[in-house]
Amino acid sequence: MRIAYLHSGSVPSIYANGVHVMRMCDAFADAGHHIELYAVPGTARTDDLHAYYGTRNRFPVHTVPLSAAPVLGPLLRAQRVRGCIRRGPTPDVLYGRDPYALLAAAGTAPVVYETHLLWPNRAVRGVERLLFRHRSLTRVVFVTRALADDYLAHFPQLKTRTDVELVTASDGADPVPPTGPMAALPGRPDALRVGYVGHLYPGRGTDLILDLAARLPDADFHLVGGTDQDRSHWQARGSRPNVFFHGHHPPAALHSYYRAFDIVLAPYQTTVGCAGGFGDISRWVSPMKLFEYMAYGKAIIASDLPVLHEVLADEINCLLRAPGDTSGWADAIQLLGADASARQALGDTARHQLNTLYTWRARVDRVLPDRALASVTGQP
């Protein structure tokens, strides 16, 4: 099947949406599909896009810049994306997270729209409303059940379209070998290594991690990720000898960090910001870092947010603690730090669940529309 993936973000970039899109395109290629990605030119420096993300397949990536026009920019870019698609072989499916480009190119092929948040922008919601009425729409993919519920409340027309399939598909990760090289982390060789991988936006729990470091001086805390500006902001609040900021690393270079940690944290707060500094995604978040933690068989301590219960279960594949309960988080770290067998049990369960339920390859089979597959394969 020929799939055109339409993305409104940039690649390469330091943002999670670029990682998600490249992982999905890689999985589409693994499944035997011909995938071509249309994205905004990248903001990160690299000579090799596929090496930066560590993809197994070298699928075509077309970059279409976003116009500087404040209101018409997404519309103008969408028209250019449509022109690029029409100049090449006709795709069998238009898939993506860019409602503007999907709407502009609709009619070329069946459309699958994937969404990760309920957009606060009224213009985007207007485009979505038109897309949800278009005859080419075959499927809408939501990253969490909570997000699906909110979309149905805001767009009741989705309930009445019996020809459009609504699917929930969590984020995922690729399975990884149980052993491999570990990063040479600074700090004390005999200290418990507590890790965090991700951005340092408001609501991601960086302040909680720093508070935990103050309470637990015998543990070393390692934060991997974040922009230079965000990292400087948190470091300016005071440095501690057991806190290490490692900065941003290409996605392909994170394997050794995950393996080096004894315990990993996902300290999301009750309000969670996203790239660009707008909105609150705490009701719908499906963090890729959680699935990557699971893939490496790590003992996870995560925030007890309702949406995370779609994947996480306390004392089964993680420990859950209230986002603002610093004492509870400290107790959890001490508990796991003193019990290697408990860490192993949580990590083993998490890895098994990832490998059986949440791989990118399994996600591909879940999100592709049955009708489009049937039209290509000739099966009923």
pLDDT in tens, 140-176: 999 999 999 999 999 999 999 999 999 999 999 999 9
Distance from C-alpha of 38 to C-alpha of 59, rounded to nearest angstrom: 11
**Statement: residue 273 has pLDDT above 90:** no
- Check whether residue 272 and residue 302 sit in a common domain: yes
- 182 assigned to some structural domain: no
- Check whether residue 231 and residue 312 sit in a common domain: yes
Mean pLDDT of 111-139: 95
Domain residue limits at 251? 192-357
- Check whether residue 48 and residue 69 sit in a common domain: yes
pTM higher than 0.85: yes
Contacts with 170 (C-beta within 8 Å, 6 or more apart), sequence order:
143, 144, 286, 291, 310, 311, 358, 363
- Check whether residue 293 and residue 340 sit in a common domain: yes
Distance from C-alpha of 40 to C-alpha of 15, rounded to nearest angstrom: 13
- Check whether residue 271 and residue 369 sit in a common domain: no
- Check whether residue 134 and residue 248 sit in a common domain: no
Among 157, 155, 136, residue whose Cα is nearest residue 147: 155
Among 122, 116, 119, 160, residue whose Cα is nearest residue 141: 116
- 30 assigned to some structural domain: yes
- 104 assigned to some structural domain: yes
- 198 assigned to some structural domain: yes
Distance from C-alpha of 133 to C-alpha of 2, rounded to nearest angstrom: 24
**Statement: residue 42 has pLDDT above 70:** yes
Q: What percent of the chain has pLDDT over 70?
A: 94
- Check whether residue 332 and residue 364 sit in a common domain: no
CA atoms within 13 A on the CB side of 28: 26
**Statement: residue 286 has pLDDT above 90:** no
- Check whether residue 353 and residue 364 sit in a common domain: no
- Check whether residue 275 and residue 245 sit in a common domain: yes
- Check whether residue 373 and residue 353 sit in a common domain: no
- Check whether residue 340 and residue 371 sit in a common domain: no
CATH, residue 133: 3.40.50.2000
Place of tokens 């992982």: 23
**Statement: residue 350 has pLDDT above 90:** yes
- Count of the separate structural domains present in the chain: 2
- Check whether residue 158 and residue 209 sit in a common domain: no
Mean pLDDT of 27-39: 98
